[in-house]
Amino acid sequence: MIILRLLAPLVLAWLAYWGLRRLSQRYSLTARQFKWLVGLAAALLVIMVLIVMGRLPVQALAAPFLFLLTFLLRNGHWLMRILPMLRPKYQSQSSSPRGDSAGPGVSAINTRWLAMELTHSTGAMDGEVLAGRFAGKQLSTLALEDLLSLAGECRQDADSIQLLEAYLDRMFPDWQAHADADSSEQSRPASSDSMMTEPLALEILGLDSGASREAITTAHRRLMQKMHPDRGGSDYLAQRINQARDFLLRKA
Cβ atoms of residues 112 and 130 within 8 Å: yes
pTM metric for this prediction: 0.39
Q: Which residues contact 152 (CB under 8 A, 6 or more apart)?
A: 183
Q: Is the pLDDT of residue 95 over 60?
A: no
CATH topology of domain 91-251: Helix Hairpins (1.10.287)
Q: Do the beta carbons of residue 227 and residue 238 sit within 8 Å?
A: yes
Q: Where are the domains of the chain?
A: 2-85, 91-251
Cβ–Cβ under 8 Å, residues 156 and 150 = no
Q: What's the pLDDT score for residue 89?
A: 38
- For residue 24, pLDDT beyond 80: no
- Above 80 in pLDDT, residue 73? no
Is pLDDT at 4 greater than 90 in this prediction? no
Q: Which H or E run includes 72? A: helix 58-82
Mean pLDDT for the stretch of residues 168-180: 75
